[in-house]
Amino acid sequence: MLDKDIEKILITREQIQMRCAELGKQLTEEYQDKTPLVVGVLKGAVPFMADIVREMDCYLEIDFLDVSSYGNATVSSGEVKIVKDLDTNVEGRDLLIVEDIIDSGRTLAYLVDLFKYRKAKSVKIVTLLDKPEGRVVPIEADYVGFDVPNEFVVGYGLDYIQQYRNLPYVGVLKPSVYQS
């Protein structure tokens, strides 16, 4: 039913599953003796977070926070604020931030600074998608699922006006969806 709104599929469910398994192996090695706090950025990172932690064969904890920067538009407003904070004290912890996509880099730059200020022992980033052309702030993820072109993408957690997060793949919407 949702398929009718999609112009093209950029990354299939199978590609995502395979990449999660690869990333999970690397993260398992990285965090073998560390019991990281895996921090999911709501709401977009939820499907990827669920996949990636199940590919990590080590002790870990999970927590979530919600930041806002975009509102319901498809372009960034440039400001980041915390809408829901973590429940966990991050002091002395090894943090792995899980994001859906890095575009301008503002969200992650803000979060990395915040967690360093809160005295995290280490802060690393894994993102499902990276849009290198969108970068305004110089920040790179330690682990990237896939690079995507400078287009607005939806699915696998990523929304358009809070919808399409449940698509099991990443794609681009038909122009007609934006007009209605």
Give residues in contact with Mg ion (CB under 5 A).
41, 44, 100, 159
Q: Choose the one of ligand 5GP, Mg ion, none that binds residue 103, judging by a C-beta under 5 to 8 angstroms depending on kind.
A: ligand 5GP
* Shortest Å, Cβ 160 to ligand 5GP: 6
Q: Would you state the torsion angle of the CA atoms of residues 162, 168, 170, 172, taken in this order, to the nearest 10 degrees?
A: -60
**Percent helix, strand, coil in the chain (nearest 5)?**
30, 30, 40
- Pick from 99, 114, 128, 173: which binds ligand 5GP (CB under 6 A)? 99
User: CB within 8 A of 159, min separation 6: which ones?
Assistant: 43, 44, 165
Q: Does 125 bind ligand 5GP (CB under 6 A)?
A: no
Stretch that binds ligand 5GP, among 30-38, 84-92, 98-106, 117-125 (CB under 6 A): 98-106
Q: Which of 103, 113, 130, 159 is catalytic?
A: 103
Q: Does 26 bind ligand 5GP (CB under 6 A)?
A: no
* Shortest Å, Cβ 42 to ligand 5GP: 10
Dist CA 138 CA 140 (whole Å): 7
Would you call the peptide bond into 43 cis, given omega within 30 degrees of 0 as the criterion? yes
